[in-house]
Amino acid sequence: MSSLTNSAHLGEVTNSQSALRNFLHGLPGVDQVGADQRAAALGTRSIKTSAKAQALDLAISMVDLTTLEGSDTPGKVQALATKAMHPDPADPTCPKAAAVCVYSDMVAHAKERLGTSGVKVASVATAFPSGRAKLEIKLADTATAVEAGADEIDMVIDRGAFLAGRYLQVYDEIVSVKQACGKAHLKVIFETGELQTYDNVRRASWLAMIAGADFIKTSTGKVAPAATLPVTLVMLEAVRDFHLATGSMVGVKPAGGIRSAKDAIKYLVMVNEVVGQQWLTPDWFRFGASTLLNDLLMQRTKLKTGHYSGPDYFTLD
C-alpha cells in the first residue's frame, strides 16, 4: 500500500478522472470475512468497573446529540441543546456532549441556547439525506448553516455519482463544500448502507480524506443498515493508513443504530486498537446518536449508585 499512497503521489491522483479511478481501484481489497471477524473479536473485550466508568464518560463527551426529523421545532432543538450541556442534571460531574446535530434552519436556535458552553453545533447540509441536488444548491445549503453559526458541517456525498464511478465529481463537490465551510469543520457522510461493499467504503474514505474532510462519517441514520462495527473498522483503517502516508489526522463518526452503552464501548475499544489512543477524544471520534445518550446515562448511574436505573429518570429527547 505504501507505494500507492505516499503523500507525493496523493497530490497527483486527483488530476483526472482516470487517475483518481486508478488510485481508488488500486487500493487493496477489504477481506470482508476478516473485517467482520476482527470487529466481532474486538467486541468481546470485557470493560469493567473503573475502566467502564471512564469509557462511559468518554463516550458521553463524544456524543453528537442528533435530531433530524421533519417534525423538529425550535423548542425541541433547544431542549436537546439543554440536554447536551447537562446530560444528567442531577450530577454536575457528568461530562457535556460534544455537539448537537440539527438541520441548517435549526442552527440558530441551537446556537442561542448553547452560547459559550463549549458544546458545538453541527448542521447537516448538501441536500441531506439524499444528496440529490445541484452543486449550487448544496453550497447555498452549506452557506446557510455556516452563516447561522454552525461549527461543523455534516455533508452527504452523492452516492449515485460514486456508485456510477464519477469519483472526480464527488471529489470536486467535497472540495467545494470544504471551501464553503470556511472555519467550520467538515464531516463527510458516506451512507455506507448504500455503498454495498467494504471496498467501496475504503475507496470513499480515501476519496473524502484526499478532498480535505476533517471527519468521515458512516451514515445519515435514515438508511438501514447504518453504522456497524465492521464498516467503522474499515474506515478507521483507512484513517490510520492516511495518517501514516500524510501525517494528517482525520476523525471518524459512526452514526445511526448505536443505541446501547455496550455497543459504544465496543467502538471505543476498536478505536484504541486500530488507530490508537490519540483518537480517543471528542476531537477525533464522535457518535451520531440520540437514544444512546440515555443508555450511557443509565449505565453511569448504575455504576454510581450500585443499582439499575430506568428510563423514567431521564428526559426522552
Partner 1 sequence: MTRLSVNKTYKLYINGQFPRSESGRSYPVTDAKGDFLANASWASRKDARDAVKAARAAFPDWSGRTAYNRSQVIYRIAEVLESRRGQFEDEIRSQEGAAASLARKAVDAAIDRLVWYAGWSDKLPQVLGGANPVAGPYFNQSTPEPSGVIAVIAPKGPLLGLVSVIAPVITSGNTCVAIASEPHPLSAITLGEVMATSDLPAGVVNLLTGPQHEIAPWLASHMDVNGIDLTGVRDADLAISLEQAAAENLKRVRRSGVEDLFSAPDLDRMTTYLEIKTVWHPMGL
CB of 17 to partner 1, least distance (A): 51
Asked if 217 is an active-site residue, the reply is yes
CB of 75 to partner 1, least distance (A): 25
Residue 317: CB atoms within 10 Å? 13
CB of 314 to partner 1, least distance (A): 11
Query: By CB under 8 A, how many residues form the interface with partner 1?
Result: 8
Which of 76/259 has CB closer to partner 1? 259
- Residue 297's nearest CA partner among 64, 89, 49 is 89
Q: Decide if residue 316 touches partner 1 (CB under 8 A).
A: no
Q: Decide if residue 34 touches partner 1 (CB under 8 A).
A: no
The interface with partner 1 within residues 271-310 (CB under 8 A) comprises: 306-310
Catalytic residue of the set 138, 253, 263, 295:
253
Q: Which residues of 184-199 are buried (b: 16+ CB within 10 A; e: fewer)?
A: bbbbbbbbbbbbeebb
| C-beta separation of 117 from 64 below 8 A | no
Catalytic residue of the set 88, 151, 154, 263:
154
Which of 277/305 has CB closer to partner 1? 305
Q: Count Cα atoms within 13 angstroms, Cβ side, for 34.
A: 5
Which of 243/304 has CB closer to partner 1? 304
Record the cell numbers describing residue 62, joined without a space: 463524544
CB of 71 to partner 1, least distance (A): 21
Q: Decide if residue 46 touches partner 1 (CB under 8 A).
A: no
Which of 136/312 has CB closer to partner 1? 312
Q: Which residue has the cell 479511478?
A: 21
Binding region for partner 1 (CB under 8 A)? 306-313
Show which residues are catalytic.
Answer: 154, 217, 253
